[in-house]
Structure 1
């Protein structure tokens, strides 16, 4: 694959993003779903690629037809297949860059209930997933036990995490898990928005959603995803003069530095494992763990160093967001475009069963456990956790915006603080990355027991610690 082929592959991704954006602009149905343009673009690329158009042409016309592989030359498909594993490192390295790491006491006081809720739901996804696989899918459908981790990887982690674990799926002999995970991530985002809006309407009727009636409806431009001309702010700040170094270039370098630190950390753990317990126990975990959670740790280290030594504060969060957003869009389009429909079709029952039980657990946790774990404004705060646990963090933010448009509750602040003690572990963090290697090395039963204990710990902690603070004036 040449540099020209790689460059042309990126150009076509950009073309699909433009098409996806304008389809959303003129589609009221997609606007109501608040579906990201990158997902629309990725689905279109999938439809005109070898998995859909190519198969139809091959079956109806001829396997030798020029369109038997879809509209793409084979080199483009090869380039796209490598992009998710690359760009997920950029996304995770950017998570904490440009944001001052808050005091942990403040994080705990305000975001504590949502930390407990989020951790409980995420660990619970492992529990219900493992039980489903061990009791039904493995014995009756021959499903790989590693599939028990797919709900948490796909729902909380999203497309980025699912795609970033592509090599891990292959290394552990579960290559089909990659396509299943990406499919589940798509189901998660769609169900998160649709079910979330339904839950808000139910909350209004029951009197739980007290701030929706004051909600300002989204403008027409807001629904299309276009920012009104009068409300457009600068998307980034010029923290350096371009004649010295362009700010975007500098921020990209900081992201690269964070990824480099993460690589050094990961390689250090791989080496340490190889010279300590690995040879004696034949247990190797870190060689299966991808780079992206360590890239996130690298980003935290870079930010801590910046807070301590950079008196000019050259790292601008808005610029980092643009880099992260670009990377996530490219990741989603390339990941969806390269999904194997055949793999999902061959594993349709496990796929649907995992999606159903994952959604069911999230709805149950929101309706019946959140009121007991969150001392105040449980509906708005729990809704954010539900959105993140079913789709991605952006889904949680969207649902909170609908339920609490004027930020009259501590939901948004608590949700932000929650990420400090949430993202490093689950939802794409170290636990998410290590889940399948742990199941592979120690077996599904020990992992199920550990996940159950963690779920119960956060459940009881939320109920008996934060739940008892109702009426005490705490957040």
Structure 2
């Protein structure tokens, strides 16, 4: 279907169906215990069901004479909207990351979380080294894979479904059409393995005495009524305060701030494109034309937050509402990305996909067991397990594992994990280098980027070991 024939009604219908499937995903999670035990988000369950009922599932199973053949239960216009949604909604997720947050000074942040930053950077740069190494040694010479495949582990594991979906168009521009599908598959593997591996490591850590928190892990799946009530009361108070002076819904105001962040991000990106056109593009190196909007949207949100703070108007930005906006956008990204996966592409590239999956999981486990106890000076297990969750799934997975291992927040792990994001997310996990890596591989080749990422990995290993130099207790 020609996308120019899509109308607002098609978009409206696509997101009505999306909402219905999210409710079905919630029902599946409540009724099937396995889904609950794996902590699978409703958006993944809903997207997986839509994938099975769409053209990639049901569409290939029914007889060719059936009206469901080649499209499943969804009309082509709805499927087309879903295929375009991830690269759009991911920008909203990143624009909201700093809005409503208290931004400490860089010096304060660094003093608190330098070891955490070192460990998380080792995890992320190592994913590039492992991925590019496996690609150059096996995937490209044996399976003929595009060298950009070496960047997919970090893109999918650290960045998650949102980043993988957002980068699909960039990969397509470089002739790596199957890259987006493989990245989404890797993100799903990373999310599930992050929870499963994290749970196994937590049980092992408790048996070996590596967990200093005196509480048992809280494996309940629902927030306590008291917590929910406190959040609700706080939000209602902020609503009431704003309502005295404003004749507009606070959600609309906060959407406006997201719009400003996106606009600033777009202006920054366009400015960098112009700068590139006047400078290094003259030597046939183009980067900015392939950079997506979402890393710039993150910077735009940071500029908005700092500016509103200095003007004394930051009270207009309500963090709970920003989280809600990001949550809805992320659900849309994950659902539509999974619902649009090409199963045929994954099947064709099954062995490379499995190689990347196993290599990524193995590196994360090794880095946790070897580097975390040597770099993180206190509560190494609690502080390290959060980064493992994030590096194999998403930030929410890291927070989930932190809750399991330290439910009463007795250690500084949660604070360190939160502040670390300010120095981590702008670069890795969907930040600037995540966006630039496929471009660099395309422009320079896999080996130069392997040397570059290997250099950064060595730097962070030396920095972590020499600055903190913790002598770990016997792990076994």
Which TM-score applies when normalising by structure 2?
0.94
Q: Normalising by structure 1, what TM-score?
A: 0.94
- Per-residue CA distance 1:425-456 (angstroms, 9 max, x = gap): 00000000000001111111110000001001
2:57 alignment counterpart? 52
| Matching residue of 1:99 | 101
Q: Tell me by how many angstroms 1:368 deviates.
A: 1.1
Cα 1:132/1:260, change in 2 over 3 Å: same
Mean alpha-carbon deviation: is it higher for 68-77 or for 103-112? 103-112
Matches within 5 A, 1:226-375: 228=225, 231-232=228-229, 233-234=231-232, 236=235, 237-238=238-239, 240-241=242-243, 244-279=247-282, 281-311=283-313, 313-375=315-377
Query: Counterpart of 1:412?
Result: 414
Counterparts in 2 of 1:327 and 1:397: CA distance versus 1, 3 Å:
same
Render the CA deviation track for 1:242-280: whole Å, top value 9, x for unaligned.
86111000100100110110000001111111122212x
SS in 2 for 1:313: helix
Within the candidate set 40, 44, 47, 1:42 is matched to 47
User: 1:23 maps to which residue?
Assistant: 28
Match of 1:215 in 2: 216
Q: Which moved more, 1:25-34 or 1:233-242?
A: 233-242
Identify the residue that residue 395 of structure 1 maps to in structure 2. Answer: 397
Task: Provide the residue aligned with 2:436 in structure 1.
Answer: 434
Please give the alpha-carbon distance, in whole angstroms, between the structure 2 residues aligned to 1:325 and 1:201: 30
Supply the distance in 2 between the matched residues of 1:396 and 1:96 (Cα, whole angstroms): 18
Matched, 1:190 2:195: no
Change (3 A) 1:11 1:319: same
Q: What secondary structure is seen at the aligned counterpart in 2 of 1:179?
A: helix
In structure 2, what is the Cα distance between the partners aligned to 1:311 and 1:469?
47
From 424, 427, 433, give the equivalent of 1:425: 427
Aligned to 1:10: 15
Q: Which runs of 5+ in 1 are unaligned?
A: none
Contact residue 33 and residue 190 of structure 1 kept, 8 A = yes
Q: Matched residues in 2 for 1:345 and 1:353: separation?
A: 14
Deviations 1:288-309 (A, max 9, x none): 1100000000000001101100
Alpha-carbon distance in structure 1 between the residues aligned to 2:194 and 2:134: 21
Rounded Cα–Cα distance in structure 2 between residues aligned with 1:119 and 1:453: 12
2:267 and 2:24 map into 1 onto residues whose CA distance is 39
C-alpha distance in 1, partners of 2:188/2:440? Answer: 25
CA distance in 2 between counterparts of 1:67 and 1:55 reads 6
In the other structure, the counterpart of 2:3 is none
Q: Is the 1:266–1:294 Cα contact (8 Å) retained in structure 2?
A: yes
Taking the aligned partners of 1:23 and 1:32, their CA distance within structure 2 comes to 12
CA-to-aligned-CA distance 1:305-347 (integer Å, 9 cap, x gap): 0110034621011110000000000111001000000000010
Count of aligned pairs: 462
Work out the CA distance in 1 between the residues paired with 2:149 and 2:74: 31
Q: Shift in Å at residue 26 of structure 1?
A: 1.6
Q: 1:146 aligns with which of 141, 148, 158?
A: 148
**1:171–1:55 distance in 2 versus 1, CA, 3 Å:** same
Segments of 5+ residues of structure 2 without an aligned counterpart are 1-5
1:216–1:456: structure 2 CA closer, same or farther, 3 Å change rule?
Answer: closer
Query: Separation in 2 of the partners of 1:462 and 1:63?
Result: 63
Residue 158 of structure 1 corresponds to: 160
Deviation at residue 218 of structure 1 after TM alignment: 3.7
Distance of aligned partners of 1:9 and 1:227 in 2 relative to their CA distance in 1, 3 Å threshold: farther
CA distance in structure 2 between the partners assigned to 1:399 and 1:37 by the alignment: 18
CA displacement, residues 368-417 of structure 1 (integer Å, 9 cap, x when unaligned): 11111111111000001111111111111110111111111110000001
